[in-house]
Structure 1
């Protein structure tokens, strides 16, 4: 069974500001307690290198940009493990709601026959991390 984590927040900031927060990777450490460091060109096929706090452990994570629509969305995926063992998709989407308001949509899916084991081991930490990051995006976008 796949693990899916959906987080959405409405933000009192324009979509452009939320997009700026999401793509200013050099400042992630100032507000993002889950993915505290990231770097990418966002070009599809290129890497996104991250450092994440998962439970009590800090670890590097390299994934690959899948889609990028400037100002709207970007997504990335892990390198699939052979034989359908494990694969993931992470997406960030910004939706304008009117003058000075927007919605940030965060989605993470982990699937494959090994996903129940990973969910058992890390699911609680992944949920907490994505929840904290979503809240952080909203807070940061209203502060800058």
Structure 2
């Protein structure tokens, strides 16, 4: 069973500015309404510790493996709930330079595993709302100054 959530927002700032905010993980507790913390050396192949708190849902801490870290373009990781194959999430942040001083920020996650059907409603509601809240806050911060 698989499920994907996709969100995107156009930000009136260059990818470099958006990326600087997105990858300033120490500041997440101060502004990010969805991902409360990312701890660790965020490099391809490394495991990090991430804490998510979707709106109106129980938060969770997990240790995903970084799959992609391409400056000003993409950050992707793969996390598991308990064991691989039960409930796996491949989370991706993508920045697209629109060439006019704006950036399209895409946040998506592909969920796979036997427990996905049990979480479908929560993913469609709480998790997607968490993505959208984070996207809006990132836009607000990047467009300041």
Aligned residues: 143
**RMSD across aligned positions (CA):** 1.9
**Contact between 1:64 and 1:79, CA under 8 Å: does it hold in 2?**
no
**Paired position in structure 1 for 2:43:** 43
Q: Is residue 2:104 matched to residue 1:98?
A: no
Q: Is residue 2:85 matched to residue 1:88?
A: no
Question: How is 1:50-61 mapped onto 2 (pairs within 5 angstroms)?
Answer: 50-54=50-54, 55-61=56-62
**Contact between 2:80 and 2:86, CA under 8 Å: does it hold in 1?**
no
> Larger % of strand: which?
1
List alignment gaps of at least 5 residues for structure 1.
Answer: none
Q: CA deviation at 1:40?
A: 3.4
**Contact between 1:52 and 1:60, CA under 8 Å: does it hold in 2?**
yes
**Contact between 2:76 and 2:92, CA under 8 Å: does it hold in 1?**
yes
3-state SS, counterpart of residue 136 of structure 2: helix
**Paired position in structure 2 for 1:111:** 112
List alignment gaps of at least 5 residues for structure 2.
Answer: none
Give per-residue Cα distances to partners, 1:38-72, cap 9 Å, x unaligned.
12322112122122213253432221101111221
Aligned equivalents of 2:122, 2:136: Cα separation in 1: 24
Change in Cα spacing, 1:125 to 1:113, as seen in structure 2 (3 Å) is same
> Larger % of helix: which?
1
Using the size of structure 1 for normalisation, the TM-score is 0.88
**Paired position in structure 2 for 1:9:** 9
State which drifts further: 94-103 or 20-29.
94-103
Aligned equivalents of 1:7, 1:40: Cα separation in 2: 26
Q: Is residue 2:85 matched to residue 1:71?
A: no
